[in-house]
Amino acid sequence: MYADQFEIYHGNSNPDLARKIARWLGTENGKAEVFQFANENIFVKILDNVREKDIFLIQPTCHPVNQSIMELLIMIDAFKRASAGRITAVIPFYAYGRSDKKDQPRVPITARLIADMITVAGADRVLTMDLHQGQIQGFFNIPVDELTAVHLLSNYFIHKHLEDLVVVTDLGFAKRARTFAELLDAPLAIIEKRRIGNLDRAELMNVIGDVKGKRAIIVDDEIDTAGTLTEIVRALEREGVTEIYACATHGVLSDPAVDRIRDSSLREIVLTDSVPLPAHKRLGKITTLSVAPLIGEAIKRIHRGESVGALFSSEVSFTQEMLLWEDNQARRMDTRREPGHEGEPDAADAGAADNAPAEFEAAGLGSPARPGDR
């Protein structure tokens, strides 16, 4: 049985997100050395006593992907050998998620391989967010909690008060996109596409649904090179869409994604900070929402043995109450209202930042944690 105390540690893939999660929980990150020798071997040393403690290790497997994966595995092994009571691998972005089946002869299922490696390394459970396909949960022989940013992203667009909306997605993300569309009370249109070989681009086949004369919001789990995204934008323009927005949980933005987004007619792209966004990729049309409160609340619930699924239930609509949050304070919601958009912010929107604690209490979850709340 692990001690009635949890600790948060992180590798080098997204330390800013780990810091925000710790601030949300009213604690500090644990101390560890994680670095690479000149020969590219990775060294890990835990600097705190973690015996019998409940450890949450935050490490999205983003750029550099293979180094991030090895850091995660080696840190899990270090905690296991330091007699940690329970180790939860918090992986906001799960790399190799698209390699989840044999869609060609003589190819691996790398998503399963990564799951096996995490399990063998010694993780007791996994906390992740918006996997490329839900069946990846079944690749693990340990408990997996999958969060979603759909409610957070939809809440952002709800506050923009856009009219004549249509939600656009591909078949792979259709189920979660349907939830997104229902939250916005908007119809759903499907993009039928076919990926060409192993290239990072897709050949679009058809737009299924009525989109003419509407404002479109493209929804997906990940934006990588933005090749498919820009193809969808062109297809929607041909169908007579008036304005186009896009949102995704994971903004990988591999080259040449930034150039493609900059040159596109997209009005705005909304991402989360599950993957860090370097300064040179921060375009004016890119908005980033923090998932730190969502992950922090999930960590608290896992530690206490409470329901994680209740975060997305009608009884505890926590994600619908979240505002733009940064470093333990709620910032005023910047909805980038553009000329010609109907409606004006109401009093509740205008005072949202000032009333953040009341918003969280209304959700039945209280205010952001303070030291000692654990």
Element holding 4 (H helix, E strand): none
Q: Is 193 a catalytic residue?
A: yes
Cα separation of 102 and 23, whole Å? 42
**Closest of 82, 91, 22 to residue 50, by C-alpha:** 82
Q: Give the pairing of strands 86-91 and 54-58.
A: parallel
Contact by Cβ (8 Å): 277, 286: yes
What are the backbone angles phi and psi of residue 180, rounded to the nearest 5°?
-60, -45
Q: What single string gives the DSSP state of each residue in 280-318? A: GG--TTEEEE--HHHHHHHHHHHHHT--SGGGGSSS--H
Cα separation of 364 and 243, whole Å? 37
Query: Which residue's structure tokens are 């983003």?
Result: 62
Extract the tokens encoding 241: 């869409």
- Among candidate residues 160, 193, 214, 300, the one labeled active-site is 193
Cα separation of 219 and 20, whole Å? 25
Cα separation of 229 and 220, whole Å? 9
Contact by Cβ (8 Å): 362, 370: no
**Closest of 119, 138, 61 to residue 93, by C-alpha:** 61
CB atoms within 10 A of CB 210: 11
Extract the tokens encoding 66: 């293979």
In one-letter notation, the amino acid at residue 281 is K
Q: Catalytic residue positions?
A: 193
